[in-house]
Amino acid sequence: MTRVIDVRGLRYRYPDGTQALDGVDFHLDRGECVALFGANGSGKTTFALHLNGLLYGEGSVEVCGMRVDAGSAAKVLADVRAKVGLVFQDSDEQLFLPTVLEDVAFGPANLGLAPAPAAERARDVLRQVGMGGAVDRAPYHLSSGENRRVALAGVLAMQPEVLVLDEPTTSLDPPDQRDLTALLRHLPQAKLLVTHDVEFAGALATRAVFFERGRVAGEGTVEEIVTHFRWSRRAD
Amino acid sequence: MHHVVLERWSRGASVLHTLDARAKLASLLIFLVAVSTTAPASQAAFAAYALLLAAALFASRLPVAGILGRAALVLPFSATFALITWWSGDPMRALSLAEKSFLSGLAVLITMATTPLVQLMGALDSARVPRPLLLVIQFLYRYLFVISEQAQHMRLAARCRQGAGSHGKARFHAAAGAVGVLFARSWERADGIYRAMLARGFTGRFPELLPARFRWRDAVFLCACTTALLAVRLGLAEFHR
Amino acid sequence: MHIPDGFLSPAVWATLDFAAVGSVAVAARRAQRELESPDDRRIPLLGVMGAFVFAAQMINFPVGMGTSGHLVGGALLAMTLGPWSASIVMTAILILQAFVFQDGGIVVLGANICNMALAGVLAGYLPYRMWGRGRHRSAAIFLSASASVTVSACLALAELQISGVPMPRHLLWISLGLFVAGGLIEGAVTVTAVHAIERLNPLWVRQPALPGPRVMAVAAIAAAVVVIVGVGIASSLPDALQNLLPGRRTAIAEWSWLHKASAGLAMMLLIYATCAIVGRTVSGRKLARQRSA
């Protein structure tokens, strides 16, 4: 099975009645890197939250062959959340424990590891993302770039097959953006980059998808999408 | 901010910093109880307590002026009561009020300046303080800085928008509005945190921490403090009535 | 008002530490039920709301004459999270304030917790629970918030007095006046804040439960009032209390601390039991009358 994510006809309505997703078809293959573009409010983040069962809609969402919906068993959900690693836009919400080590060990601990092995795995992953020296630091003392890497470590510690990153370059300065790009390039997992940053997407993604009003309005390479939808900062 | 300075101090490398938090907390409690139960007339005892704290301060390699300055923050409150007591004709008690509150505050400060909060929480956990309460404290502390910064920005923005002729009542309602917005953002942040917890497989219970090891030197420290304090308390001081 | 170490006598802080430990354990369990969470999931909410209270205390509310007041927040927490959860949050705040900010002592933490996290929150919730559904909702909120601040301050003052910290009569009245003024500010601030919050999302402010048997409410209010008044009187008139005790010629001050602590605790339990029994009898008669009507 090469499809790690398979979404068909996904519809989702907010509690206030707005139709956030209106029939989305999407797939992600093993090892692939796809960029997701779209205006604010087009449903990108809402879509991302469906991929690990934080939200449920109509239609079908399958992760590594497992169906994710309101009726999914707890064991299935736990598996899905381990396989799909979601890095949120707001690192302050994602890093909620007092120290970096504790936070990164949270995922492995929830998967059943005892405190000592969980801490070991956390240390390994932190070294992998270049934050090995920050184990005892508190998250709010770290910079945006460092927080982003710790958040990524927290997700990698669960040994996922898919990484979903929501606006990962927000509030990152250019050097941090470069570092993040280099780091992601070396990771073997399938990646979905929800982003406004065309350069960042161009450096990593082999395919791009454009969201408009809760639907996929176009698919192609990053270049094609940017040209077709005039998705650029330049005012010609 | 105050607690940021305290955090910096607590990451030092002196002998006191490396001691187990449980030994320090236990010694602190014995100290506080000893001071609290010392009769006002035992000035010799107070001097002895001060000497013990001076030794601790020296061993901790913390900045003396900084520490004493922060410990002095308790003085306005106690000085007021001390003055009232002096006025009411009990100078010995007045002096002891000021001494007790200052010495107690200084002891707590030295302990917190040599113990990161996370370790203190671990020590409280060993003392069977309910885990839900400790977890709430941890989360409170984690987001204290973040939300306080938000509040400060809102204050600044409000002050920028305020004209010189702003009516008091309008400013009152604006302040209430600010509290409302801060509340909303905080609650929504809590929702976001819950989503982040679920996304990493939260099972319903927060994971336990690795317990620290209580070593020989921690036991020695605790015994030494207890002996010294008992000697002062029972030898030099009378029982407080 | 946070009491520092060194002010209260051992009898007082020992009793209150003991009372606080038991009450906090109860509150922790009840908070889980209140927030409908069988596990730890609501803990981040409590922590974040605690941080909110800290931060909100920085916001200035102009109260005239160039001064400004601030939100204390106990009542607001009780009305949005429920009284038991509010107690836990306030306890967490007090512990942090004592250790990290040296605001309030450690040995007397039990006293500060009883005053602000237990009595203060209870007083900050009962008026809202009893009258928060009707036409006088804003008045109920105002009363709740005022009571919360005034009750905790009065209790602190009473504890200081029992411990022998002298307070001349006129200063006592000035202090009480300041406490009432503080209560009025808290009332005004809380009412406007609750309205502002409701405008953003009415679900955030809890609707008080339908009025049921008023046993607990009556008992608690009566206990609080009796304790505050009784303690206030007793502390300023030590001789009168001595005369009340038949046969005991020695001054209370000469009892050992163990005697004092157990006496204090026994008194509180006696008052509470009396009020509970009276309240239940009154309620029972009321229910019987309703049923036969």
For the beta carbon of residue C230, count every other beta carbon within 10 angstroms: 14
Domain span at residue B98 reads 2-125+213-236
Homologous superfamily in CATH for domain A3-228: P-loop containing nucleotide triphosphate hydrolases (3.40.50.300)
Two tokens, residue B120: 């203190």
The reply to whether B166 falls in a domain is yes
pLDDT tens, residue order, chain B (241 aa): 567 888 889 888 898 998 999 999 999 999 999 999 888 888 888 999 999 999 999 999 999 998 998 888 888 888 888 888 888 888 888 888 899 999 999 999 999 999 999 899 999 998 889 999 999 999 999 999 999 999 998 888 877 777 655 677 888 888 899 999 999 999 999 999 999 999 999 988 898 876 778 888 889 999 999 999 888 888 876 554 4
Tell me, yes or no, whether B6 and B108 share the same domain: yes
Tell me, yes or no, whether B229 and B132 share the same domain: no
Position C232 pLDDT exceeds 60: no
Residues of chain C with Cβ-Cβ distance to B87 below 8 Å are 168
Give the chain B residue nearest A137 (alpha carbons).
B11
Compute CA distances C33 → B195, C63, C85, C227, whole Å: 21, 38, 9, 29
Whether residue B232 contacts residue B49, with contact meaning beta carbons closer than 8 Å, is answered with yes
The model's confidence at residue A71, banded by pLDDT at 50, 70 and 90, is: confident
Phi and psi at residue B93, to the nearest 5°? -65, -35
The three-state (H, E, C) secondary structure of C57-71, written as one string: CCCCEECCCCCEECC
**CB-based contact (8 Å) between B108 and chain C?**
yes
**CB-based contact (8 Å) between C102 and chain B?**
yes
Residue pointed to by tokens 């030092």: B12
Distance between CA atoms of residues B144 and B150, nearest Å: 10
Q: Which of A205, A204, A191 is nearest to A87 (CA)?
A: A191
Contact C51 B179 (CB under 8 A): no
Does the domain spanning C1-206 belong to CATH 1.20.1740.10? no
Tell me, yes or no, whether B142 and B31 share the same domain: no
- Residue A13's region, left for phi above 0, alpha for psi from -120 to 50, else beta, is beta
Identify the three-state secondary structure at position B206: coil
Given this model, what pLDDT does residue C68 score? 78
Position A193 pLDDT exceeds 60: yes
**Taking residues C169-193, what's their average pLDDT?**
89
pTM, 2 dp:
0.87
Given this model, what pLDDT does residue C134 score? 80
Compute the mean pLDDT over every residue in chain A, rounded to the nearest whole number.
Answer: 92
Give the chain A residue nearest B146 (alpha carbons).
A140
Whether residue B185 contacts residue B150, with contact meaning beta carbons closer than 8 Å, is answered with yes
CB-closest option in B137, B154, B183 to C95 = B137
DSSP bridge partners of A165: A87, A193
**CB-based contact (8 Å) between C167 and chain B?**
yes
- Say which residue, A223 or C277, is predicted with more confidence: A223
Read off the DSSP letter of residue C219. H
Give the chain B residue nearest C201 (alpha carbons).
B184
Tens of pLDDT, residue by residue over B4-32, are: 888 889 888 898 998 999 999 999 999 99
**Taking residues A188-215, what's their average pLDDT?**
94
Strand order in the sheet with A215-220: A84-87, A162-166, A190-194, A33-38, A207-212, A215-220
Position C9 pLDDT exceeds 70: yes
Q: Which of C110, C115, C122 is nearest to C228 (CA)?
A: C115
CB-closest option in C71, C96, C204 to B187 = C204
For the beta carbon of residue A183, count every other beta carbon within 10 angstroms: 15
The three-state (H, E, C) secondary structure of C122-173, written as one string: HHCCHHHHHHCCCCCHHHHHHHHHHHHHHHHHHHHHHHHHHCCCCCCHHHHH
Whether residue B193 contacts residue A96, with contact meaning beta carbons closer than 8 Å, is answered with yes
Tell me, yes or no, whether B33 and B136 share the same domain: no
The model's confidence at residue A17, banded by pLDDT at 50, 70 and 90, is: confident
Number of domains forming the structure of chain B: 2
Given this model, what pLDDT does residue A54 score? 93
Given this model, what pLDDT does residue C240 score? 43
Tens of pLDDT, residue by residue over A106-163, are: 999 999 999 999 999 999 999 999 999 988 888 988 999 999 999 999 999 999 999 9
**CB-based contact (8 Å) between C173 and chain B?**
no
Whether residue A44 contacts residue A168, with contact meaning beta carbons closer than 8 Å, is answered with no
The reply to whether B208 falls in a domain is no
Given this model, what pLDDT does residue C241 score? 43
Distance between CA atoms of residues C170 and C162, nearest Å: 18
* Cα C202 from chain centroid (whole Å): 26
Tell me, yes or no, whether B14 and B64 share the same domain: yes
**Taking residues A48-54, what's their average pLDDT?**
94
**CB-based contact (8 Å) between B162 and chain C?**
no
**Taking residues A18-42, what's their average pLDDT?**
92
Tell me, yes or no, whether B79 and B62 share the same domain: yes
For the beta carbon of residue A233, count every other beta carbon within 10 angstroms: 6
Question: Which chains are within 8 Å of C by 3+ CB pairs?
Answer: B
**Taking residues C123-137, what's their average pLDDT?**
87
Given this model, what pLDDT does residue B114 score? 94
**Taking residues C74-88, what's their average pLDDT?**
94
The three-state (H, E, C) secondary structure of chain A, written as one string: CCEEEEEEEEEEECCCCCEEEEEEEEEEECCCEEEEEECCCCCHHHHHHHCCCCCCCEEEEEECCEECCCCCCHHHHHHHHHHEEEECCCHHHHCCCCCHHHHHHHHHHHCCCCHHHHHHHHHHHHHHCCCHHHCCCCHHHCCHHHHHHHHHHHHHCCCCCEEEEECCCCCCCHHHHHHHHHHHHCCCCEEEEECCCHHHHHHHCCEEEEEECCEEEEEECHHHHHHHCCCCCCCC
Position C103 pLDDT exceeds 70: yes
Give the chain B residue nearest A116 (alpha carbons).
B210
Given this model, what pLDDT does residue C255 score? 46
Position C281 pLDDT exceeds 80: no
The whole-angstrom distance between C113's CA and the closest CA on chain B is 13
Every domain of chain C and the residues it spans: 1-206, 212-293
The whole-angstrom distance between A203's CA and the closest CA on chain B is 27
Distance between CA atoms of residues A201 and C102, nearest Å: 50
The reply to whether B36 falls in a domain is yes
The reply to whether B205 falls in a domain is no
- Indicate the angle between helix axes B43-60 and B91-113, nearest 10 degrees: 20
- Say which residue, C269 or C168, is predicted with more confidence: C168
Tell me, yes or no, whether B191 and B133 share the same domain: yes
Tell me, yes or no, whether B154 and B73 share the same domain: no
Find which of A21-25, C236-240, C275-279 is predicted with most confidence, using mean pLDDT: A21-25
The three-state (H, E, C) secondary structure of C104-127, written as one string: CCCCCHHHHHHHHHHHHHHHCCHH
The reply to whether B163 falls in a domain is yes
